[in-house]
Amino acid sequence: MSPGDEHETSGGYGGTGQTRTRYPQGTGGDIYGGARRGRSSSSKSLVTVVAVVVLLIAAIAFANRGDGTSSSNDNTTSSGSKPDAASTAASGTKPVETKTGGIPSGFAHTEQGAQSAAANYSVSLGSTGMFQKEIRHSLVNSLYTSAAASKLTGPMDQAYSADFLSKLGLDANGNAPTGSTFVSRVIPVGTTVQRYSDNDAKVAVWYVGLIGMSGQTSTDPVTTSWKTWTFDLQWSNGDWKIVTDSQKDGPAPVPGDDTAATSDEISKAIDEYGGFTYAR
**DSSP SS3 for 264:** helix
Q: Are 48 and 10 in contact (CB under 8 A)?
A: yes
21 or 186: which carries more pLDDT confidence?
186
pLDDT in tens, 50-73: 444 454 444 333 334 334 433 334
Pairing assessment for the beta strands 103-105 and 181-196 based on DSSP bridges: unpaired
Q: Torsions phi, psi of 77, nearest 5?
A: -125, 155
Going by CATH, does the domain composed of 41-272 fall within 3.10.450.50?
yes
pLDDT in tens, 8-34: 333 333 333 333 444 444 444 444 443
Strand order in the sheet with 223-236: 181-196, 200-214, 223-236, 239-249
Q: Are 182 and 166 in contact (CB under 8 A)?
A: no
What's the rounded Cα separation, in Å, for the pair 211 and 216? 16
Q: What's residue 275's pLDDT?
A: 85
Cα–Cα distance list, 278 to 39, 113, 144, 213 (Å)? 33, 10, 18, 26
Q: Cβ atoms within 10 A of the Cβ of 19, count? A: 13
For the chain, how big is the Rg over CA atoms in Å? 19
